[in-house]
Structure 1
Amino acid sequence: MTRRTRRAPRPRPVTGRMARGCQAAALVAAVGCQPAPARAAPPPPSVVRASGVVTWAASADGMGEDGAGQGYRMIVHTSVGGTGLRVRVTNAFGDHPLTLDSGYAGLRGHGAALRPGSNRRLTFGGARTVTVPAGAAAWSDPLPGSWPAGTDLAVSLYLPGAAGPATGHWMALQTSYTGQGDHTAEESARNWGRTTGSWWYLDAVSVRPSRAATGAVVVLGDSLTDGRQSTPDLNRRWPDYLARRLNPARTHAMDVRGVADEGVSGNMVLTDGAAPSALDRLDRDVLSQPGVRTVFLFEGVNDLKAHTGVTAAELIAGYREIARRVHGAGKCVVAATVGPFKGWPEWDPAAESVRRDVNRLLRTSRDFDAVIDFDRVLRSPDDPERLRPAFDGGDHLHPDDRGMRALADAVDLARLNCAR
């Protein structure tokens, strides 16, 4: 498997530091798919035709060249349960049409094996195959049966003619499986002998919850949200802990139950780099998801440590642009302060000064429906420029499992519901 190619940061426009366009969103109904227009304006909510509520998601990015004749059995973990499960196949970063020959989804048993009788064929507008244009995505038809919250799904895709750049999510922190040939219908692990640490051609799963009022929170973030330094295969990213807190068995009064983790390692708010900027990917990764009630914004440290000379005013302007677009789509937006990172190789006093100014402005801002002070959770009481030693995953920037849980525990769940 070829590891994805990291892109060099793109230059900022001469009109200012903030990237002002938005990555085109491939908003596709179950009956087909359509190419995404370049640098499209944010779509109104009515354009998003996928029904239900997102129960899992991972932001798409370029993954380098794909292997021909490959099958993928991806393991993903649900947040909210329901019926009518659908998956979104993505070709967002491809430069050729992508044909899915066969797809199935079922409940994972152990490893690559499925629970007997749970594997169901995916269809697209009633057809067993679908061709997704470059830059687009396609939702499957709803599957029969009930799909529980907090469980592992196995989504199996066979794309024998895949060519050119692949689309997926590089740092999954979840073991998935590959094999040669079409074994998507098989429930055993026999022909899925190789492993991959990435998700391929899959970026969202939705269900139809039992309560019509149920919605989801989508977290827009960087590697701290993507879960770097959390334990792989145990779903210990902070959005995973948040999903467990929102479980209906524990919180009966909450309408927000789905959680989608749209964190990307190396992501910046203002500038494209290892992935499109938060501003560029907001439509595709966040606003296109079905059932979104609230957007949770936790980004900015990469803008500060990239030595681009970003100012607090510019970063706050980027946050405000995201809030404006989210509110324009009729959704709530919650922001979090930027955590400490002294001890990381790119830390310097100038970046720390900007971080403090950004957090001061966030704490007093009225642009958001709520602000959660993650800086106070993460910082050391002995040196507020450093990550709390008990939460340090080892690199002085990313929290470990305990730190991830502390972030989720710091979220006032009631603030995820707002009157919009």
Structure 2
Amino acid sequence: MASALTALVVAAAWLFSAPGVAAPATMQEVVTWGASADRMGEAVPDRSYRLVVRTSAAGTGARIRLSNAFGDRPVTFGRVFAGVRKEGAALVPGSNRPLTFGGDRSVTVAAGDTVLSDPLPGRLPAATALVISLYVSAAGGPATGHGMAMQTSYAATGDHTAQESADNWSERTGSWYYLDAVSVRAAPAIGAVVTLGDSITDGWQSTTDLDRRWPDYLARRLRASDGTPVKGVANEGISGNKVLADGAGQSALNRLQRDVLSHPGVRTVFLFEGVNDIKAHTGVTAQDMIAGYREIIDRTHAAGKCVVGATIAPFKGWYEWDAAAEEVRRQVNEFIRTSGAFDAVTDFDRVLRSPYDAERMLPSFDGGDHLHPNDKGMQAMADSVALDSLACSRRPG
């Protein structure tokens, strides 16, 4: 019990730092948490959301990004607070602090737009259970958010954002609304990796509320390593997402700028996506996939960032598998491994496949549907990533 209380005090320490202390001029902004924006159904006014997220990179001057990317009219946030989670919807006492936007407590975000908060004074540690409480005072039309959070958050009618207790926060939600990024200021050497993917990256079949998606395991490795300056991890997976075609979220090609390249401090994009393009009998060829990968690589390189490519994992046993899709997967993986188009390669296919049938996932890694790894498989994926491959650097152009 004593160690748990100590951890909460440490996590909340950033909130008690002296206000008005400016970060050194040499610091740079880096993303410490991210989730892809998507359309979330009808927006609801006079509604509060208490959103639980986990930071990766430590730093000062925390800022959040609110998104109305899929809205067709403005949305107004009456108040927004940031605090540290104690348990459930309850916050560490004294940790909840108001955020401002250009000095104002309220902000209106135009349709299709995003807004950054002003920085909060103080330090935000790595691995903090950060809670963003926001009140939507006026909204309509499509809401923006992230559907499959694999994390319990909370909602309520009316404005309860300043409240630190769990009172009134009785409604649970498995989605994040409007919040799509958190950033901090860190030393110039510190950078981030963005994982661009589908439901496997999004964390489906990992255990809810325990941060066992493979990017979470990767963040733990990066945090524990003294040998890499990459500390930030933004998970930009969307369940059902494709490289080439819109559907479950905009395609990787169409959301690359907003969900990936727009984040601050990104060193490397980790591209692990493609199974949804090839598994549904869509007629997508290996050449189609390779062209899509090359476009992502070219645009990312032009932005001065590196790209690590991951091979498509085995999925025999999934209801949409057939020999034709398997052949496309084989050809695409050969390109990823041997073309030299990527700055580095992580071979998730070899990590996850069964030694007795290379077209199937190893049973001990299988979440049960033969496509999505379980917690053990997620950890094996993260453990296979060469950390030094995430720290490469490029110049724009």
Is the structural similarity TM-score above 0.5? yes
Instruction: Read off the aligned partner of 2:85 and give its amino acid letter.
Output: R
Against the structure 1 CA distance between its residues 419 and 202, is the aligned structure 2 distance closer, same or farther, given a 3 Å change threshold? closer
Q: What residue is the counterpart of 1:224 in the other structure?
A: 200
DSSP 3-state at the match of 1:416: helix
Alpha-carbon offset, residue 82 of structure 1? 1.1
Unaligned runs of 5+ in 2: 1-27
Alpha-carbon offset, residue 67 of structure 1? 2.6
Q: What residue is the counterpart of 2:217 in the other structure?
A: 241
What are the equivalent positions in structure 2 for 1:37-186 lying under 5 Å apart? 52-186=29-163
Cα distance in 2, alignment partners of residues 86 and 109 from structure 1:
21
Match 1:275 to one of 246, 249, 255: 249
Cα distance in 2, alignment partners of residues 197 and 361 from structure 1:
37
Instruction: Read off the aligned partner of 2:259 and give its amino acid letter.
Output: D
DSSP 3-state at the match of 2:102: coil
Q: Deviations over 1:325-352 (max 9, x none)?
A: 0000001110000001111010010000
Unaligned runs of 5+ in 1: 1-50
Q: What residue is the counterpart of 1:385 in the other structure?
A: 359
Alpha-carbon offset, residue 251 of structure 1? 1.1
Q: Is the 8 A contact 2:160 2:168 kept in 1?
A: yes
Flag as ranges the 4+ runs of structure 1 deviating above 3 A: none
Cα distance in 2, alignment partners of residues 361 and 167 from structure 1:
36
What's the RMSD between the two structures over aligned residues?
Answer: 1.0
Cα distance in 2, alignment partners of residues 285 and 78 from structure 1:
17
Cα distance in 2, alignment partners of residues 276 and 151 from structure 1:
30
Q: What residue is the counterpart of 2:258 in the other structure?
A: 284
Alpha-carbon offset, residue 255 of structure 1? 1.0
Alpha-carbon offset, residue 212 of structure 1? 2.0
Cα distance in 2, alignment partners of residues 167 and 186 from structure 1:
24
The share of aligned pairs that are identical, in percent, is 67
Q: Deviations over 1:77-125 (max 9, x none)?
A: 0011111000001000000101111000011111111111111111011
Cα distance in 2, alignment partners of residues 327 and 78 from structure 1:
26
Alpha-carbon offset, residue 261 of structure 1? 0.2
Q: Is the 8 A contact 2:305 2:393 kept in 1?
A: no
Q: Deviations over 1:122-156 (max 9, x none)?
A: 10111111111100100100001111101211100
Cα distance in 2, alignment partners of residues 336 and 390 from structure 1:
21
Q: Is the 8 A contact 2:304 2:393 kept in 1?
A: no
DSSP 3-state at the match of 1:293: strand
| TM-score scaled by length of structure 2 | 0.91
Instruction: Read off the aligned partner of 2:147 and give its amino acid letter.
Output: W
Q: What residue is the counterpart of 1:17 in the other structure?
A: none
DSSP 3-state at the match of 1:212: coil
Q: Is the 8 A contact 2:58 2:124 kept in 1?
A: yes
Cα distance in 2, alignment partners of residues 365 and 276 from structure 1:
27
What are the equivalent positions in structure 2 for 1:249-398 lying under 5 Å apart? 250-398=224-372
Match 2:191 to one of 215, 224, 239: 215
Cα distance in 1, alignment partners of residues 180 and 137 from structure 2:
19
Cα distance in 1, alignment partners of residues 43 and 299 from structure 2:
34
Larger helix percent: 2
Q: Is the 8 A contact 2:47 2:135 kept in 1?
A: yes
Cα distance in 1, alignment partners of residues 119 and 362 from structure 2:
45
**Number of residue pairs aligned between Structure 1 and Structure 2:** 368
